[in-house]
Amino acid sequence: MYPFIRLFKEYFVNRSAPPLPLTGTHMSRHICWPWDIDLWMELNNGRTLTLYDLGRLPLARRTGLLDVLANQGWSMAMAGCSMSWRRRVRMLDRLTMYTRCVGWDARFIYMEQSMWKSDGDCANHNLVRAVVSNENGIVAPAKVMQAMGEQEASPPLPDWVQAWIEADAKRPWPPMKHAN
């Protein structure tokens, strides 16, 4: 089940947080609860992606993006991600999550996220491409930025983000069906 209570907690905790610029960093704190773990008694990989919503949505709220989406009747969805796991997160581990927008191109908005354990080790790192859409399809990020009163040109995307975009563009779509 989606962690709605945790999301509402994040909104409540950050209700007085100052607005952030679009490329600002949102920081939040989390605990790996018993319902977040897998058979190996560590944070489940799918739950990791769900917990990252608890960073992206408050960031979108603090930057004013959620207000623009609501006013325009637009929605936002994750259109792809690249995850790296490096350290195990065990039940009751405390985590600090950092989320920031690194830029955008003609179709997607790119966000970087990381979870850090209390001992200072980075547990995992996520690169997300998000898409804003309406009933007609994709809303160009330039139009989203204009509606937010932001610059329409993206800051330069980091080389590693650009490399991921280029590599993902070579992936065949739709994928090949495999028969047994």
pLDDT at 152 > cutoff 90:
no
pLDDT digits (tens, 9 = 90+) for 84-97: 999 999 999 999 99
pLDDT at 179 > cutoff 80:
no
pLDDT at 54: 96
User: Are 50 and 57 in contact, with CB atoms under 8 Å apart?
Assistant: no
Closest to 31 in 3D by CA, of 11, 51, 50, 45? 51
Q: What is the mean pLDDT of the chain?
A: 95
Tell me the domain boundaries of the chain: 4-168
pLDDT digits (tens, 9 = 90+) for 36-82: 999 999 999 999 999 999 999 999 999 999 999 999 999 999 999 99
Better-scored residue on pLDDT, 178 or 146: 146
Q: Would you state the structure tokens that stand for residue 23, as one six-digit string?
A: 């490329």
Mean pLDDT of 166-176: 93
Identify the band that residue 150 occupies on the pLDDT scale cut at 50, 70 and 90: confident
Identify the band that residue 151 occupies on the pLDDT scale cut at 50, 70 and 90: confident
Residue showing tokens 């609501």 = 70
CA distances, 116 to each of 47, 121, 136 (Å): 16, 6, 39
CA separation for the pair 75, 58 (Å, rounded)? 15
User: Are 127 and 144 in contact, with CB atoms under 8 Å apart?
Assistant: no
CATH node for 4-168? 3.10.129.10
